[in-house]
Structure 1
Amino acid sequence: MTPRTELGPSAVSTWLAAVLDGAPAVFDLGRPLYRGMPQSPNHPPYWHTLPRRHGDAVRADGGSAAADHISLGTHVGTHIDAFSHVSHEGRLLGGVDAQETQRGGSMRELGAETIEPMFRRGVLFDVPAVLGADCCDPGYEITPDDLERCERRHGARLGAGEVALIRSGWGARFDSPDPRDFIGHDSGVPGVGEAGARWLADRGAHAVGADTIAFECLPPGRGHALLPAHRVLLVESGVHIIETMDLEGLAAAGAHEFLFVLAPLKLVGATGSPVRPLAVVAGGGR
Structure 2
Amino acid sequence: MTVNDAPREITSSWLDAALGSGVRVHDLGRPLFKGMPQSPNHPPYWHTLPRRHGDMVRADGGSAAADHISLGTHVGTHIDAFSHVSHDGELLGGISAEEAQRGGAMKALGAETIAPMFRRGVLLDVPRALGLEQCEPGYEITPDDLHRTVEQQGVEIRPGDVVLIRSGWGANFDAGAEVYTGHASGVPGVSEAGAYWLADRQVHAAGADTIAFERLLPGQGHALLPAHRVLLVEKGIHIIETMDLEELGAAGVHEFLFVLSPLKLVGATGSPVRPLAVVPEAGS
Scaled by the length of structure 1, what TM-score is found? 0.91
Distance (Å, rounded) in 1 between the aligned partners of 2:240 and 2:103: 27
The letter for the 1-side match of 2:30 is: R
Q: Which residue of 2 aligns with 1:132?
A: 131
- Offset, 1:20: 9.8
2:200 maps to 1:233: no
The letter for the 1-side match of 2:69 is: I
1:244 to 238, 242, 245: 242
Distance (Å, rounded) in 2 between the aligned partners of 1:205 and 1:156: 14
The letter for the 1-side match of 2:179 is: D
For structure 1, which segment, 147-156 or 47-56, has the greater mean C-alpha deviation from structure 2 after superposition? Answer: 147-156
Distance (Å, rounded) in 2 between the aligned partners of 1:284 and 1:277: 22
If you compute each CA radius of gyration, which structure gives the higher value, 1 or 2? Answer: 2
Deviation track 1:23-74 (CA, whole Å, cap 9, x = no partner) reads 2210000000000000000000000000000000000000000000000000
Q: Which residue of 1 aligns with 2:161?
A: 162
207 and 19 in structure 1: CA distance in 2 versus 1, 3 angstrom threshold? farther
The letter for the 1-side match of 2:164 is: L
Aligned counterparts, 1:192-271, within 5 A: 192-271=190-269
Count of residues paired in the alignment: 267
- Offset, 1:280: 0.4
Aligned residue for 1:174, secondary structure, equals helix
Q: Which residue of 2 aligns with 1:32?
A: 31
Distance (Å, rounded) in 2 between the aligned partners of 1:21 and 1:273: 26
Cα RMSD for the two superposed structures: 1.6
2:94 maps to 1:92: no
- Offset, 1:134: 0.6
2:116 maps to 1:121: no
249 and 61 in structure 1: CA distance in 2 versus 1, 3 angstrom threshold? same
Deviation track 1:67-111 (CA, whole Å, cap 9, x = no partner) reads 000000000000000000000000000000000010000000000
Q: Which runs of 5+ in 2 are unaligned?
A: 1-16
219 and 79 in structure 1: CA distance in 2 versus 1, 3 angstrom threshold? same
19 and 214 in structure 1: CA distance in 2 versus 1, 3 angstrom threshold? farther
For structure 1, which segment, 238-247 or 144-153, has the greater mean C-alpha deviation from structure 2 after superposition? Answer: 144-153
Aligned residue for 2:79, secondary structure, equals strand
2:59 maps to 1:60: yes
Distance (Å, rounded) in 2 between the aligned partners of 1:69 and 1:254: 39
8 Å Cα contact 1:22/1:282 also seen in 2: no
1:185 to 180, 183, 187: 183
Deviation track 1:202-252 (CA, whole Å, cap 9, x = no partner) reads 100100000001000001111000000000000000000000000000011
8 Å Cα contact 1:119/1:261 also seen in 2: yes
2:273 maps to 1:275: yes
Distance (Å, rounded) in 2 between the aligned partners of 1:22 and 1:268: 36
Distance (Å, rounded) in 2 between the aligned partners of 1:226 and 1:234: 14
Distance (Å, rounded) in 1 between the aligned partners of 2:62 and 2:151: 60
The letter for the 2-side match of 1:93 is: L
- Offset, 1:283: 2.6
- Offset, 1:282: 2.0
- Offset, 1:21: 11
21 and 69 in structure 1: CA distance in 2 versus 1, 3 angstrom threshold? closer
2:111 maps to 1:112: yes
The letter for the 2-side match of 1:274 is: P
- Offset, 1:156: 1.1
Aligned residue for 1:217, secondary structure, equals coil
The letter for the 1-side match of 2:167 is: S
Distance (Å, rounded) in 2 between the aligned partners of 1:284 and 1:207: 28
% identical aligned pairs:
75
- Offset, 1:155: 1.1
- Offset, 1:138: 0.2
129 and 19 in structure 1: CA distance in 2 versus 1, 3 angstrom threshold? farther
Aligned residue for 1:75, secondary structure, equals coil
Q: Which runs of 5+ in 1 are unaligned?
A: 1-17
8 Å Cα contact 1:19/1:283 also seen in 2: no
